[in-house]
Amino acid sequence: MSATKTAVISNFDKQGDLPDAERQRNAVDTFISEFGSRAASYMESCVRCGLCAEACHFYLTTGDEKYTPIHKIRPFEQAYQRHAGPFAPLYRFLGLAPSVDLEELENWEELIYDSCTLCGRCTLACPMGIDIAELVKEARHGMYKAGLVPDRLAHIVRNAEVKHSPFGEPEDFSRRVREIAKRFKVKIPLDKKRADLLLTTSPSDLDDTPQSVAAAARILNHLGISWTFSSQAFEATNFGYLSGNMELQKDLTCRLIDKAKEIGAQTILLPECGHAYGAARWEAAQWYGGPTGVDVLHMIEFLAANIESGAIKLEKAKGSATFHDPCQLIRRGGLERAPRIILDALGYELHELEDHGTTAFCCGGGGGVLANARAEPLRLKAFELKKSQVEATKAEHFFTSCGQCRLQFTRGAEHFNWQKPIESLVEAVNDHMIVK
Amino acid sequence: MRLLTVFSLLMLIFALPASVSAQDFKPPVPASRPSGTVSPAPSLVRPEQPLLERGSDDISQLWRGIRMGRRGTLSSKSLGTPVLVQSEGELWRNVRSTLVQTYGAYLLGLAAAATLLFWLLRGRIRLKEKPTGRLIERFTLPERVVHWYLAVVFLFLGTTGLILLFGRSILIPVFGREGLAVFASAALHGHNLFGPLFALGVIAMLVLYGRDNLPKMADLKWLATGAGLFTGRHIPSWKFNAGEKIWFWIVIVTGVAISASGLLLDFSYLATDLSQLQIAHFVHVSGALIAIAGAIGHIYLGSVGVEGALDAMVTGEVDENWAREHHDLWAAQSSETKAEEPVGRVAPAE
Amino acid sequence: MIAFLEGPAWYAALTIFVAFSLWRLGWVLLMGGEKHKSPARGSAAAGAIKNVLGEMVPRRAFLKRGKVWFVVFAGYAFHLGLFAVLLFAAPHVDFIEKRLLGFGWTAMPYWGFIVAAEFAFLGLLLLWIRRFVDPVTRLISRLDDHLAAGLTFLVLLTGCLALGQQSVILRGMHMGSVELWLIYFPFSSLFHTFTWPLSRGYTGALFGRRGIRA
C-alpha cells in the first residue's frame, strides 16, 4: 500500500448517455455553484495535516491512504481553486490550477461514494474544523449531474424518482400497511384527511422489519395521538440526499411537508432512520425555500420526550445492553441523550462501546454505502471494527435506532456468522410498554 | 569492515599524542581560597605563594605567575573561570589547527576514497531476483521520522561544524577574512542552536532502534564471512546485519560523546576550568569527524549503494524478495507476526 | 543591497502581504451564505465560539492514535515557539517598535529565545519530515505545503544564523527571506493563520444549531 501520486485506475459506473464533455462540464458547474462563504472558508483552511484520516473507519481498517477524507474531495477543491477562489484568474493564467478532467472524476467516484458514509467523524478530528462530510455530500451533487454514481445506488434513485419511494407505488404501500395491521393486530390509520401527526417509514422497515412499523403504530395509538400514514407521502428515506440528486432530495422533502400541511399535521414523525433526520429535520428549510411551519421529530426523540413526561410507562427489562450511535442522529443530529434516556427507562445496564456518543465509529453502511454493491469489502471491514467493539462490552443486548445501521449489522453478522442480533429501540419500547 | 579497521587505527594515532601532551601542563593550583571561588580537585592542590610578594613591584614575577595559569578571584561569577592566561591553550590551539585538521582531513578523504573504491569494485548491490510486488513493512513511521530528523540535523551540524573547524584554512583563501567572518558567525550560531536538537535525536534513535541492534549470534557469522560483500554469497541476518549494527553503535557512541561535549561547549559557563572545555572540544571534534566519515559510507550505501535501501527508509516498505535476500531471518519472522494479527483492529498509525 | 532590503523591498513585501490578505479574506467572507435554515435546537453563536476557542486539543477519542499526539506536540512546539520568537525576541521587539507600531514591549531574555527557537525548529522539522514519509501526507500534500514549510524554515534559520548581529549580509539574508515569506503568504496555505476561526466557526455554528455535544 505505498502511496503513489499518479492517477488511480479504479472501477466506476456511468449512467445516461451524455457526451463526456457535457458530463465534465455538468460536474464542474455544479461544484462551483456550491461555494458560498462556508464552503470557501473550508477550502481556504486545509493545511494537509492528515489528521482526518485518523478518524475515518475506512482508512483505519484498511491502512490505505487513498481513503484520507480530505483527499476524497480533491476534484471539488480543484474546481474551487480554478473557478471560484479569490485568485482563480491568476492561478488559471499561471497554470497553477489544473482543470478537473473526466478521468479524474471517474477515478474519484469510488472515493466519493464507496468510501464515505457521510458520518462526519473526520469533521470532528480536523483541527481547522473543516466539515469534510458536508463537502463530500456537496461534491456528490456534481457527480450525480455527471452521471457518475454507483449503479445500484443510481437504480434506487431512479425508482424513487418514478415511484416516490424505492419501496413501491402507493398501492403497494397501502397493501403492505393492511398486511402489517392484520398480522400484528394493530390499528394503522391510512390516508386520513386530517391528523395532528404524519408518520413516515422506510423500505427496510416495511420489507425486513415490519414489527417496528407495528410498534410505532401501537405506541402512537396508546398515546391517543391523532395520526395517519399517507400512501402518497410515506417515504422517510431520502436517496436524493444520499446520492447527490438535488431535485429528488427537494421533491421528497417537499412531498412530506406539503402532505403534512394538507392534513393539518403539526408534526412529521420519522422512523428509526439516520439520514432521514439529516434531510427532513436539518435540511428541509433549505430545500423548501423557507420555514416549513412543520415540526420534524425522530422516533427516538419522540419516545424519549414521552418517557420523560411520563406518557409512556415501561416495564423494566433485564440484562445489559450496548448502543450503536447512528451518525446522522447523534454526531450530526444532536440526539445523543435520547437513546440513553430510553435505555435507562427500560432498565438495561448500559455498557457503552469504547467509542460512543459523538465520537462513535460509523457502522460503515450509511451514506448510500449499503446500497452500493461495489463497496461491500470496505463495508465489511468497518463492520468488523464495530463487531470487536461490541464484543468487548460483553453486553447481552445490542441496540441501534437506524434502519441502515440495522441492515449493515444484520448483513455483516450473516457474512461473519456472528450470533448477535441487532435490536431496535422502538420495538423494545413497544415490547415493554405498560398499556392499561 | 576495512573502513572500521582504518578508523580505529586513525583514532589511536590521533588520540595518543594529544592525550600524552595534554598531561604535561597541569597548572599549579592554590590550596586555600576565599569562598565564592571555584575549588579544584584535591590532587591538584599545591601550596601556593602569592603572585607578588608584598612590597615587590617585580612585574615579570607577576606575569610569570599569570602565565603559569595561576588562579585568582573573580569579581563576578559570570566572567568564567578565574584564570587569566592558560598556557596549555596554546597546545590545544596547535593540536586543533595541525593534528586535528590534518588527520581529520585525512580521515574524511580516506572515507570518501574508500567509498568510491567500494563502488568501483563492487558496484551497486542489486536484487538478484525480480521483486515479487508484495511489500513488507520494514520501518514504521516513527522510525523513519526519527531517522530523517537525525539525518537533517546531522547534515546541518556537520556542515557548520566543518566550517568552524576548517574555515580558516579553506575559506579565507576563497572568501577573504571578512567573508570567513560571515560564514563563521552564521555557522557558530546555527551550530550552537541545532546542537540540542541533535542530542534529542540521538536519544530517540537509541530508543527506537536500540533493541533491533543488539548483537546476536548471526552477527558473528556475518562478520566472519566478510558480509559476503565480495563473494555475493547469501548471509543470514536479522533486521539489521552486523555492519549496520556497528554503524548504529558508532552513531550512538559518537552521538552521545558529541552531544555531551557539545552541551558543555554550548553552556560553557557550567565548566569550572578551561581545560574541561578544551577536552570537550577535542572529544567533540573527534567524535564528529568519525561520525562524518562513517556517514559518507552510510549515505552512499543507503542511497545508491544498495538497491531498495532508500525506498525502505522513505516509504517504510520493502519487497519480499529484498527482505529475503538481505535480511532473511527478519523476513521470516515478519511474515509470522503478520499472520497472527487479530481481525477488526485498526491499521497502525502509518 | 541592505538599504534596498530594509527599504523599498520591505515596504513592497508588507504591502503585498496586507493587500492580498485582505483581498483573500474579504473574498471568502463576502461569498454569500445559505439562505434558509431549519429551526435551531441551540445557539449557533455559542457553538461557533466554543468550537473556535474551546477545541484546542483533539477530542479524547482521537488521542488514542499515536500520530495524533505527534501532530499535536510538534504542531504546538512549532507554533508556540514561532510566536514567542516572532513577538518576543529582542531584535524583533526592537524592529516592531522602530518600524511598525511605534511602541514595543518587554523582550524575552536570551535563554528564553533559545528555548523557543529550539521548539520551533523541532516542531517544524518533525512535521516537514513527516510530510514526506507518511503515506497520508505524501498523498495529499502539494508543492504549496513544502514551499510554506521551506520558506518558514528559511526565515527561522536565517534569523538564527544572524544571531551574532554582526554581519550585514546575514541580516540581509534574514530580511530577504522574511520578505519572500510575506509575499508568498497570502497565496499559500500559510493563510490558514486567518481562516482557521472562520472554518471552525462555521462548523461550530452547525454543532450549536443542531445541539450536537461536540
Long-range CB pairs of C190-194, under 8 A, 24+ apart, other chains included = C190/C148, C190/C152, C191/A44, C191/C21, C191/C24, C192/A44, C192/A45, C192/A46, C192/A47, C192/A128, C194/C21, C194/C25
* B349 touches A at CB < 8 Å: yes
Cβ-Cβ contacts under 8 Å, B350 against chain C: 134-136
Residue A27's alpha-carbon distances to A74, A151, A326, B333, in angstroms, are: 13, 18, 30, 50
**ipTM attached to this prediction:** 0.95
User: What percent of chain C is modeled with pLDDT above 70?
Assistant: 100
Summarize the confidence of residues B58-80 as an average pLDDT.
Answer: 76
* First CA to last CA distance, chain B: 35
What are the pLDDT digits (tens) for A374-432? 999 999 999 999 999 999 999 999 999 999 999 999 999 999 999 999 999 999 999 99
Say if residue A84's pLDDT is above 90: yes
Say if residue B224's pLDDT is above 60: yes
Number of residues assigned to chain A: 436
Closest CA to A57 of A125, A139, A137, A154: A125
Q: How far apart are CA A46 and CA A145, in angstroms?
A: 26
DSSP H helical ranges for chain B:
2-22, 59-67, 88-94, 101-122, 141-209, 217-224, 242-266, 274-300, 309-315, 320-326, 328-339
Contact (CB<8Å) B344/A387: yes
Contact assessment for residue C93 and residue C107, using Cβ atoms and an 8 Å cutoff? yes
* B142 touches C at CB < 8 Å: yes
Interface test with C, best of B78, B147, B182, B192 (most C CBs within 10 A): B182
In this complex, the residue of C35, C138, C203 whose CB is nearest that of residue A123 is C203
Which three cell numbers, joined as nine digits, stand for B147? 531517522
Q: How far apart are CA C84 and CA C116, in angstroms?
A: 6
Closest CA to C7 of C155, C157, C158, C179: C179
DSSP per-residue string spanning B232-243: -------SS-HH
Interface test with C, best of A2, A6, A8, A48 (most C CBs within 10 A): A48
Summarize the confidence of residues B220-248 as an average pLDDT.
Answer: 81
Q: How far apart are CA B110 and CA C137, in angstroms?
A: 40
Contact (CB<8Å) C37/A358: no
The residue in chain B having the minimum alpha-carbon distance to the alpha carbon of residue C168 is B182
Contact (CB<8Å) B344/A385: yes
* First CA to last CA distance, chain A: 62
Summarize the confidence of residues A90-118 as an average pLDDT.
Answer: 95
Q: How far apart are CA C33 and CA C44, in angstroms?
A: 14
* C157 touches B at CB < 8 Å: yes
Say if residue B29's pLDDT is above 70: no
What are the pLDDT digits (tens) for C70-116? 999 999 999 999 999 999 999 999 999 998 899 999 999 999 999 99
What are the pLDDT digits (tens) for B255-286? 999 999 999 999 888 888 888 999 999 999 99
Q: Which chains touch C (3 or more CB pairs under 8 A)?
A: A, B
What pLDDT does residue C148 have?
97
The residue in chain A having the minimum alpha-carbon distance to the alpha carbon of residue B342 is A388
- Name the pLDDT band for A355 (thresholds 50, 70, 90): very high
**Which residues, other chains included, contact A160 with Cβ-Cβ below 8 Å and sequence gap of 6+?**
A166, A235, A239, A240, A248, A252
Q: How far apart are CA C109 and CA B37, in angstroms?
A: 26
Rounded to a whole number, what is the distance in Å from the CA of B350 to chain C's nearest CA? 6
Q: What is the mean pLDDT of chain B?
A: 82
Helical (H) or strand (E) element with B136: strand B135-137
Q: How far apart are CA C204 and CA B18, in angstroms?
A: 68
* C129 touches A at CB < 8 Å: no
The residue in chain C having the minimum alpha-carbon distance to the alpha carbon of residue B200 is C122
Listed by number, the residues of chain B in 256-315 with a beta carbon closer than 8 Å to a beta carbon of chain C are 314-315
Q: How far apart are CA C136 and CA C141, in angstroms?
A: 8
For residue B306, report the phi and psi dihedrals to the nearest 5 degrees: -125, 120
Judging by beta carbons within 10 Å of its beta carbon (0-12, 13-18, 19+), is residue A132 exposed, middle or buried? buried
Say if residue A48's pLDDT is above 70: yes
Contact assessment for residue A395 and residue A351, using Cβ atoms and an 8 Å cutoff? yes
What are the pLDDT digits (tens) for A225-257? 999 999 999 999 999 999 999 999 999 999 999
* C21 touches A at CB < 8 Å: no
Contact (CB<8Å) C38/A48: no
| Residue with the three cell numbers 597541569 | B26
In this complex, the residue of C117, C129, C161 whose CB is nearest that of residue B186 is C161
Which three cell numbers, joined as nine digits, stand for B126? 542489486
Closest CA to A276 of A405, A189, A390, A187: A405
Q: How far apart are CA A58 and CA A69, in angstroms?
A: 9
- Please report the number of interchain residue pairs, chain A to chain C, with beta-carbon separation below 8 angstroms: 177
What pLDDT does residue B230 have?
63
Interface test with B, best of A49, A121, A354, A384 (most B CBs within 10 A): A384
Angle at the Cα of B206 from the Cα atoms of B203 and B209, rounded to 5 degrees: 140
b/e for B262-287, b at 16 or more Cβ within 10 A?
bbbbbeeeebebbbbbbbbbbbbbbb
Strands B317-319 and B135-137: antiparallel
For residue C149, report the phi and psi dihedrals to the nearest 5 degrees: -65, -45
> Helix, strand, or coil here: A76?
helix
Helical (H) or strand (E) element with B40: none
Summarize the confidence of residues A286-301 as an average pLDDT.
Answer: 94
In this complex, the residue of C134, C191, C206 whose CB is nearest that of residue A50 is C134
Q: How far apart are CA C112 and CA C84, in angstroms?
A: 9
The residue in chain C having the minimum alpha-carbon distance to the alpha carbon of residue B347 is C65
Paired strand residues for B30: B46
Q: How far apart are CA C98 and CA C80, in angstroms?
A: 24
In this complex, the residue of B317, B342, B346 whose CB is nearest that of residue A60 is B346
Judging by beta carbons within 10 Å of its beta carbon (0-12, 13-18, 19+), is residue C95 exposed, middle or buried? middle
What are the pLDDT digits (tens) for C162-188? 987 788 999 999 999 999 999 999 999
Say if residue C59's pLDDT is above 90: yes
- Name the pLDDT band for A262 (thresholds 50, 70, 90): very high
- Name the pLDDT band for A43 (thresholds 50, 70, 90): very high
**Which residues, other chains included, contact C91 with Cβ-Cβ below 8 Å and sequence gap of 6+?**
C165
Cβ-Cβ contacts under 8 Å, A59 against chain C: 136
Residue with more model confidence, A404 or B12 = A404
Summarize the confidence of residues B217-237 as an average pLDDT.
Answer: 76
Contact assessment for residue A256 and residue A227, using Cβ atoms and an 8 Å cutoff? no
b/e for A209-231, b at 16 or more Cβ within 10 A?
bbbbbbbbbbbbebeebebbbbb
Interface test with C, best of A32, A37, A90 (most C CBs within 10 A): A37
> Which phi-psi region, left, alpha or beta, contains residue A310 (left: φ > 0; alpha: ψ -120 to 50)?
left
Say if residue C126's pLDDT is above 60: yes
Q: Which chains touch B (3 or more CB pairs under 8 A)?
A: A, C
The residue in chain A having the minimum alpha-carbon distance to the alpha carbon of residue C209 is A334
DSSP H helical ranges for A53-101:
57-62, 69-72, 74-79, 88-94
b/e for C130-152, b at 16 or more Cβ within 10 A?
bbebbbbbbbbbeebbebbbebb
Chain A residues with CB under 8 Å of a chain B CB are 1-3, 54, 59-63, 384-385, 387-388
Contact (CB<8Å) C135/A2: yes
What pLDDT does residue B46 have?
46
Judging by beta carbons within 10 Å of its beta carbon (0-12, 13-18, 19+), is residue B61 exposed, middle or buried? middle
Contact (CB<8Å) B190/C117: no
The residue in chain A having the minimum alpha-carbon distance to the alpha carbon of residue C50 is A129
3-state helix, strand, coil in chain C (%, to 5): 80, 0, 20
